[in-house]
A and B are shown apart, each in its own frame.
Chain A
Amino acid sequence: MTSEVDAARTWERFDRRRRLGRFVGVLVAFVVFAGSWAFLDMGVTNVETVPREINDLLSRMFPPDVAYVPEIVGPLIETVHIAALGTAGALVITIPVALLAAENTTPNAATYWLGKLIVTVSRSVNTIIWALVFVVVFGSGPLAGAVAIAFRSVGFLGKLLSEEIEEIDFGQVEAVRAAGASPIQVLTYGVLPQVKPALVGLSVYRWDINVRDSTILGFVGAGGIGVQLFRAVNAFAWQSVAMILIVILGVVLVSEGVSAYTRRLVR
């Protein structure tokens, strides 16, 4: 310990109890890790071959099959459509749900819990599971995908938007009401302006997430580029798979950029 004297200054931030706590934390993590590993019963020999197998897969992907691009343009556009439509649909459902799930705008306790229930169920079920459900309802195809995206997004948007509504300054709302405004006018003049930046920001952010989520819907028959990807994987056409992955990567990066730019714009 050559640097003991100087470093002691940094270490002072942690007293003995917190250090003990951190030690116990690490220990618990290790025990849980070992316990879980033992439970899964996978053995070590199995793991040893993993790097080689993955390396094998990656080498077969190279070089990506550029000639395959024309075939994925259509499904790619469909993916973008699913994301856009799903987000728009979610937005329409979210606004009333968020008003129900916010303590200060909900009409009564029952509606509040209804709002919370919708948000919770929607959020706890993954997009692909929603897609499984809606493929049953609408049959295979992108419509099921868009509805699945919408149903998953309602929970996300509803939770964050209702939190935003709970934070608003109620004096502003009250002043609008004091002028004799109707409930709808109170919402459009008192509440909406206060949550508008959040509303736009969150929708664009969710759209960005939805673009990623839409790429997998095809695995359960709910449309988009996932259909193509699944087909290529099952045909062991690894070079096509690589091309699809590159295209997905591109779309995701673009949507991330658009989303970040728009959110900066709306303040």
Chain B
Amino acid sequence: MTLDVTDLRKTYPTGDEALKGVDLSIDGSETTAMIGPSGAGKSTFIRCINRLTEPTAGTIELDGTDLIGLDDDGLREARRDIGMIFQEYNLVERLTVMENVLTGRLGYVSAWRAFRRSFPPEDVERAYGILDRVGLDGMENKRVDELSGGQRQRVGIARAVVQQPTILLVDEPTSSLDPETSNTVMRLLTEIAAERGVPVLINIHEVDLAVEHADRIVGLHDGEVVFDGPTAELGDDALDRVYRGGDPPESGESRAVTAADDGDGSVGDRFAGDGVVTTDGRTPDRPASGGS
């Protein structure tokens, strides 16, 4: 598996430059954490990879396929191989756990079978296996809105993993969770990825979590990569470059603050879509202010 991103740029209609030419390539099955203050462009970057946000310029190649040149059908096929886990879980609240997990198989069934919830038996078996793995056995018929935050994010992980992706993109998986649950979720995520040999790209602004769980760190500041190297090499000056001038949010209290910041900064972002949605309600990442 290779993901090659070159010179990725994103300028929102409002004129905000979220990404100013990002190069990144991921090989093998390492866990890469992308750190940076709120508004550095982390979310935009991840969302550009599977084109939930349409990039302005640059190339994205997944195993040699140029994702940017794909038409709608091609893009749907490519997306089947990209598992995505969201900050606010983004589960379909009124559906059951099982239905949410099986959402990950939608790319493989017809609209009519999907409507009747009649998935192939091996998909159902696979879903059960993953639910066992993430510790949600016996919960398949619970409605998602009855679950706790940690349980929801486990469903989110299961939904992404059941796709049998070649890469997992994870957008701030812990910002809606308490510190302890955050740690459990991160461990689960990296373990599952290792078991399946799938590389993970995680957006995270909690540096301590990144250092604990990732093999490699990418530091983003104001739309540009300012650090890229093994976790061991991340020193104070590198952190200083990423969070220029500000204190890196390491302690629990400052984490709470940045989490809240990030929450409201991404509301507009979630509405920036493609396909069915065309009314252009795109809002850029908030300008770097919260963390820096």
A–B touch (CB < 8 A): the answer is yes
A interface residues, Cβ below 8 angstroms from B: 103-109, 112, 169-190, 193-194, 196-197
- With A175-B91, A175-B159, A178-B84 known as contacts, the answer to whether A185 contacts B106 (CB < 8 A) is yes
Residues on the A chain within 8 Å of B25, using CB? none
A193 and B271: CB pair below 8 A? Answer: no
Contacts of A189 in B (CB 8 A): 92, 95, 99, 103, 106, 114
- Could you list 19 examples of A-B contacts with CB < 8 Å? A104-B279, A170-B270, A171-B90, A172-B90, A172-B91, A173-B277, A174-B52, A175-B84, A176-B92, A176-B103, A176-B106, A177-B79, A180-B78, A180-B80, A180-B107, A181-B106, A183-B276, A196-B94, A197-B94
Contacts of B240 in A (CB 8 A): none
Q: For A181, what are the chain B residues with a Cβ–Cβ distance below 8 Å? A: 76, 103, 106-107, 114
CB A145 to nearest CB in B, in angstroms, measures 32
**Cβ 8 A contact of A107, one of B99, B105, B111, B278:** B278
Q: Which 6 A-B pairs have the closest CB atoms?
A: A180-B107, A175-B90, A180-B80, A180-B79, A171-B90, A181-B106
- For the complex, give the distance between the alpha carbons of A177 and B107 in Å: 9
Complex contact B52–A177 (CB within 8 A): yes
B178 within 8 Å of A by Cβ? no
Bound form: Cα–Cα A34–B275 in Å? 57
Name the residue among A107, A109, A175 with the largest chain B CB count within 10 angstroms. A175
Contact B279 A194 (CB under 8 A): no
- A186 in complex: contacting residue of B78, B105, B275, CB < 8 Å: B275
- Which B22-46 residues have C-beta < 8 A from chain A? none
Q: A107-B276, A171-B86, A193-B95 are in contact. List 17 more A-B contacts (CB 8 A).
A: A104-B281, A108-B278, A172-B92, A174-B86, A176-B92, A178-B52, A178-B82, A181-B76, A181-B114, A185-B111, A185-B114, A186-B276, A188-B111, A188-B114, A189-B95, A193-B93, A193-B94
Any chain A CB within 8 A of the CB of B129?
no
How many whole Å from A158's CB to the nearest CB in chain B? Answer: 18
A267 to B92, CA, bound (A): 16
A177 touches B273 (CB 8 A): yes
Q: Is B174 at the interface (CB under 8 A from chain A)?
A: no
Which of A107, A170, A177 is packed against the most chain B CB atoms within 10 Å? A177
Contact A174 B273 (CB under 8 A): yes
Q: Choose among B79, B91, B271 the residue that contacts A178 (Cβ–Cβ < 8 A).
A: B79
Contact A187:B103 (CB < 8 A) given known A175-B86, A178-B82: no
| Cβ-neighbour of A179 out of B88, B111, B159, B275 (below 8 A) | B159
* A104 with B271: CB separation less than 8 A: yes
With a CB–CB cut-off of 8 A, which chain B residues contact A197? Answer: 94
Contact check: which of B50, B114, B273, B278 meets A106 at CB < 8 Å? B278
Residues in A whose Cβ lies below 8 Å from that of B106 = 176, 179-182, 185, 189
B153 within 8 A of A: no
Residues of chain B contacted by A104 (CB below 8 angstroms): 271, 277, 279, 281
Residues in chain A near residue B95, CB distance under 8 A:
189, 193
A106 to B275, CA, bound (A): 10
> How many Å from the CB of B58 to the closest CB on chain A?
20
How close is A203's CB to chain B, nearest CB, in angstroms?
Answer: 17
Q: Least Cβ distance of B138 to chain A in Å?
A: 22
Q: Find B77's partner among A107, A176, A180, A196 (CB 8 Å cutoff).
A: A180
Whether A171 contacts B270 by the Cβ 8 Å rule is yes
Q: Cβ of B166: which chain A residues have Cβ within 8 Å of it?
A: none
B292 at the interface (CB under 8 A from A): no
Complex: how many Å from CA A109 to CA B274?
Answer: 15
| Contact pattern, B 63-102, Cβ under 8 Å of A = 1, otherwise 0 | 0000000000000111110101010101111110001000
Rounded to whole Å, the gap between the CB of B100 and the closest CB of chain A is: 9
* C-alpha spacing A194/B111, complex, angstroms: 18
Check B291 for interface membership: any CB of A closer than 8 A.
no
* Closest B residue, CB atoms, query A170: B271
A187 and B94 CA atoms in complex are apart in Å by 14
Nearest CB of B to A123, in Å? 22
- Name the distance in Å between A253's Cβ and chain B's nearest Cβ: 32
Also in contact, A194 and B90, with CB within 8 A (given A173-B273, A182-B76, A183-B276):
no
Docked Cα-Cα span, A161 to B150, in Å, equals: 33
**Is B107's CB under 8 angstroms from A171's CB?**
no
Residues of B within 8 A of A172 (CB): 90-93
B163 contacts A by Cβ under 8 Å: yes
Q: Would you call B104 an interface residue if the criterion is a C-beta within 8 Å of the partner chain's C-beta atoms?
A: yes
CB contact under 8 A between A184 and B93, given known A106-B278, A170-B273: no
Q: How far apart are A192's CB and chain B's nearest CB, in angstroms?
A: 9
Q: Are A170 and B277 in contact (CB under 8 A)?
A: yes
| Contact in complex: B276, A187 (CB < 8 Å) | yes
Complex Cα distance, B274 from A105, in Å, reads 10
Nearest to A172 among chain B residues (CB) is B92
Closest to A188 in B: B115
Contacts of A190 in B (CB 8 A): 92
B90 touches A174 (CB 8 A): yes
B275 engages A177 (CB within 8 Å): yes
A178-B50, A179-B79 are contacts. A105–B92 as well, Cβ < 8 Å? no
